Amino acid sequence: MSEQHPRLWLCATCGVEYPPGPTPPELCPICEDERQYVPATGQRWTTRAELRDSGQAVEVTQVDDLLWGISAPGVGIDQQGMLVQTNEGNLLFDVPGFIDKAAIDRVRELGGIRHIVASHPHMYGAQSAWSSAFDNAAIWVAEADVGWLGYRTDTVRTWNEPFDILPGIRLDQIGGHFPGSTIAHWNIGAGGRGVLFAGDAIFPTPDGNVTFLRSYPNRIPLSPAVIRRMADFVQRYRFDVLYNNFGACVPRDAAAIVQRSADRYIAWTSGANDHLT
């Protein structure tokens, strides 16, 4: 693949793209924010060419029927995007910070990409490069978070109200981690059991439950009122499976687990369990 944007700058820490130019920006606002971080060694920038020459590669792996994980291990935050196949075109939900020819060829075999959505600004990745590679696929950005957009192309579309981006896939804004934190509900996913792509808004934990945080690397919590609001919000959707933005999954009974986990979180952050500390 030729470099369409040879000097498109990527933050080496979060993998989010910034405009092309002879020199990179002075700082990455996303990493300067309390939800992320600038390494002790300071701000560092990279490019797609540099990543390619260093041996980075994109992996495309099947997760379930009509569902594929797309990741670029070692790039930025190391997220895994989800490619959902439909008869009306495919959705890429959450975006790796790198793209290569092998990934483009494989995704084309799977039907390409019609729409691109990041669950929140940490997941913008190299979204303009992915869009360019697939006939200028529309990039949908929550209006509440558009101020975090480091590089805005003509393919960007903003939105406020929930809508069906493709038949059977509905976008909605749950808030919490970011005001515009976005979920995608795939009503026929997992063999008709329903799938919720939750990004960082609702995050699977090792004990089989989920959690909710303002900042994951810095362990900043959200208030009990916000957690209650988020847990109530997702009750409008029917889902049995939940994925985050790193490929972690609640494989069954996810809707009930979200509610139980919210109750647990609220009990601890409200002080109800202080007698146990």
Domains of the chain: 9-276 (3.60.15.10)
Please give the Cα distance from 277 to 255 (Å, whole number).
29
pLDDT digits (tens, 9 = 90+) for 195-237: 999 999 999 999 999 999 999 999 999 999 999 999 999 999 9
pLDDT digits (tens, 9 = 90+) for 155-172: 999 999 999 999 999 999
3-state secondary structure of 156: strand
> Which residue bears the tokens 């699977």?
204
Q: Are 150 and 19 in contact (CB under 8 A)?
A: yes
Within 13 Å, how many C-alpha atoms sit on residue 148's CB side? 25
Closest CA to 172 of 151, 189, 103, 181: 181
The mean per-residue pLDDT over the stretch 118-133 comes to 98
Q: pLDDT band for 7, please (50, 70, 90 cuts).
A: confident
pLDDT for the residue numbered 3: 43
Total-model pTM: 0.96
Please report, as a single letter, which amino acid is at residue 224: P
pLDDT for the residue numbered 2: 40
Contacts (Cβ under 8 Å, ≥6 apart) of 208 = 250, 257
Q: Are 103 and 68 in contact (CB under 8 A)?
A: no
The mean per-residue pLDDT over the stretch 51-60 comes to 97
C-alpha distances (whole Å) from 90 to each of 16, 93, 107, 129 are 22, 10, 10, 16
